[in-house]
Structure 1
Amino acid sequence: MAIDVSRPESSNRPPAEDVARRLLDSSAQLSYDPLIEVDWETPLDPDFHGASPEWSTLYGTAYWKELTEAQRKALTRQEAASVASTGIWFEMILQQMVLRDIYTKDPLSDSFQWALTEVADECRHSIMFARGAKKLGAPAYRPRRAAVELGRFFKTVAFGEAAYAAILVAEEVLDVMQRDWMRDERVVPFVRTINNIHVVEESRHMKFAREETRKHLAGAGRVRRHIHSVLIAVAAYVIVSSMVNRKVYANAGLDEERGIREAKANEHHKSMMRSSCAGLMEFLTSVGLLTKPALFFYKRANLI
């Protein structure tokens, strides 16, 4: 009697394909439609914060102590809207990089189909963030012109691990703060729902970005690894420094120049940013992307 010793088809699949299949299955089981899930109809209640106050750029400063509760809440609403606007900007960059990466790949593969699923998620997230920022009573915050042009350059030249690790950086920084916001009953309910949706769906994106980063680095030489480590670090600095627009202070009724000055010197906020990136820095170290030149930019962005 002949014995079939052939291995299951799945055993010959690349690890990235198995990851993509699991992510597709997860997406089919747990995804959201923000147009339905988020309460867009109830008017904004000014008695709520827009984000956990501990994440405010002014929390712990002398200026924060002088503010009334109403002013603090107005500020966190503007800051949350600014973070959302920055998220839209980077998600548009992300979508272009992902689409360019899969342009000539096998459309029947799980990786290709997951990448399109991720792009669809990001489209919904961007609309959700835009509607959320509008409901918070904020203007359309945009990154400074230099950041916009650097983003245009990055999305054009970044490929492989540079693209996916930069995606991971942006998503990891948002993930930790949004996990705090979604659990905080001081935060306006519709923002908590937005954060919950984003955290759940971005967890799949981060897993894929890690896998793609490892996959691309497997064939990267020393020079390429060092160049990309700096490119990723510069992207991280630009993203993080663009998260809170300088106009949030004036739009919350505060002194803009004093707000900017005290935010830059705020050690509490710097500590919050560093703690949010501890896992990210461990990953970058494990794959050889935390080089000495890259460290300069991460330190400047207060991520390490």
Structure 2
Amino acid sequence: MASSSTGTESNVREDIARKLLESSATLSYDPAQEVDWETPLDTDFHGTSPEWSTLYRTSYWDEMTPEQQRALTRQEAASVASTGIWFEMILQQMILRDFYAKDPTDAAFQWALTEIADECRHSIMFARGAEKLKAPAYHPRRVVVELGRVFKTVAFGEAAYAAILVAEEVLDVMQRDWMRDDRVVPFVRTINNIHVVEESRHMKFAREETLERLEGSSWLRRQINALVISIASYAIVTSMVSHKVYANAGLDTKRAVREAKANEHYKSMMRSSCSGLMEFLSSAGLLTKASTFVYKRANLI
């Protein structure tokens, strides 16, 4: 019976991978051609939906001029893009390591390479987008960069794929709002649309891989990996908006950081963006008491 079950799961995985490959062949974008890189930046637009700003509904936000508010959201959009590049590089290395020396005729192997190709294009797209937003290179704190270096080297199985899923799902919810918002600068809306469409396939693959790697796992393994995933998630979401965005938008950094940390509206937006993700982690047995504590610290629950 075990052999039959394994064979059925393998067939399901193969079918999903083939469908993702077919979808990619039918609907994929070339950002170099699809995004308007030539038109100068129009500073009458935001970089994100204002409601997603870390300062929205704070007293500081109310004191800012519309120009300052738009400048801040443009810097925040660039910071999110830079964090996306950082994690996409981690993601690519984990997938390459996972599929190293595996059967290249397998549809999952071919999909993995397709996903890596997508991520390479996305990283270039985000980099050009941040440059056009007139933002500097934002990076996570040094300790987070080094933790990411360790994580990409040692994470495997469900820990790797569930962490990938967290990063993709949080960004997906944000970008779905931004790509529909007429207040957001048009080229950023195009970038968001491209990313949402192509990342939907990546999220499907990450969910399936997470569930497959969990098959037959012990209680202890789930406990350990649930905590690892939550810590990785904390590092990702707390790195999305660099504190440096405030100075680059002409604001008082100390006051902005203080008010952003206390901003209940932003915390609520983050929690709502993760409701579906938390349901998935719970159903997979990856939402433990220890991991829930970390997710609450990250304002994801």
TM-score class, shorter-chain normalisation, is over 0.9
In the other structure, the counterpart of 2:199 is 202
In the other structure, the counterpart of 1:37 is 34
Counterpart check, 1:286 vs 2:283: yes
In the other structure, the counterpart of 2:125 is 128
Output the CA distance in 2 between the equivalents of 1:262 and 1:151. 28
| Deviations 1:26-81, CA, capped at 9 Å, x for gaps | 00000000000000000000000000000000000000000000000000000000
In the other structure, the counterpart of 2:161 is 164
Two-structure CA RMSD over aligned residues (Å)? 1.0
Output the CA distance in 1 between the equivalents of 2:26 and 2:246. 41
Deviation of 1:219 after TM superposition, in Å, equals 2.8
Local SS of the residue matching 2:148: helix
Letter of the 1:234 counterpart: I
| Worse-matched range after superposition: 214-223 or 60-69 | 214-223
In the other structure, the counterpart of 1:212 is 209
Counterpart check, 1:225 vs 2:222: yes
Output the CA distance in 1 between the equivalents of 2:224 and 2:122. 31
Counterpart check, 1:112 vs 2:95: no
Consecutive aligned runs of 4 or more in structure 1 exceeding 4 Å deviation? 10-13
Output the CA distance in 2 between the equivalents of 1:11 and 1:48. 51
Deviation of 1:105 after TM superposition, in Å, equals 1.2
Output the CA distance in 2 between the equivalents of 1:91 and 1:296. 26
Output the CA distance in 2 between the equivalents of 1:234 and 1:187. 32
Instruction: Give TM-score scaled by structure 2 length.
Output: 0.97
Output the CA distance in 2 between the equivalents of 1:219 and 1:145. 37
In the other structure, the counterpart of 2:4 is none
Spell out the pairing of 1:1-304 with structure 2 (5 A cutoff).
13-304=10-301
Do the aligned partners of residues 165 and 11 (structure 1) sit closer, same or farther apart at CA in structure 2, a change above 3 Å counting?
A: closer
Local SS of the residue matching 1:186: coil
Output the CA distance in 2 between the equivalents of 1:16 and 1:157. 24
Local SS of the residue matching 1:203: helix
Letter of the 1:59 counterpart: Y
Deviation of 1:221 after TM superposition, in Å, equals 1.1
Deviation of 1:104 after TM superposition, in Å, equals 2.2
Deviation of 1:296 after TM superposition, in Å, equals 1.1
| Deviations 1:178-216, CA, capped at 9 Å, x for gaps | 000000000000000000000000000000000000000
Deviation of 1:13 after TM superposition, in Å, equals 4.8
| Worse-matched range after superposition: 48-57 or 11-20 | 11-20
Instruction: Give TM-score scaled by structure 1 length.
Output: 0.96
Output the CA distance in 1 between the equivalents of 2:36 and 2:216. 47
Gaps of 5+ in 1: 1-9
| Deviations 1:203-236, CA, capped at 9 Å, x for gaps | 0000000000000000311111110000000000
Do the aligned partners of residues 151 and 251 (structure 1) sit closer, same or farther apart at CA in structure 2, a change above 3 Å counting?
A: same
Deviation of 1:16 after TM superposition, in Å, equals 1.1
Letter of the 2:107 counterpart: D
Local SS of the residue matching 1:108: coil
Letter of the 1:247 counterpart: K
Local SS of the residue matching 1:187: coil
Output the CA distance in 2 between the equivalents of 1:242 and 1:22. 34
Letter of the 1:185 counterpart: D
State the identity %: 76
Query: Which has the greater radius of gyration?
Result: 1
In the other structure, the counterpart of 2:3 is none
Output the CA distance in 2 between the equivalents of 1:38 and 1:97. 29
Output the CA distance in 2 between the equivalents of 1:219 and 1:83. 36
Local SS of the residue matching 2:243: coil
Letter of the 1:83 counterpart: V
Letter of the 2:242 counterpart: N
Letter of the 1:191 counterpart: V
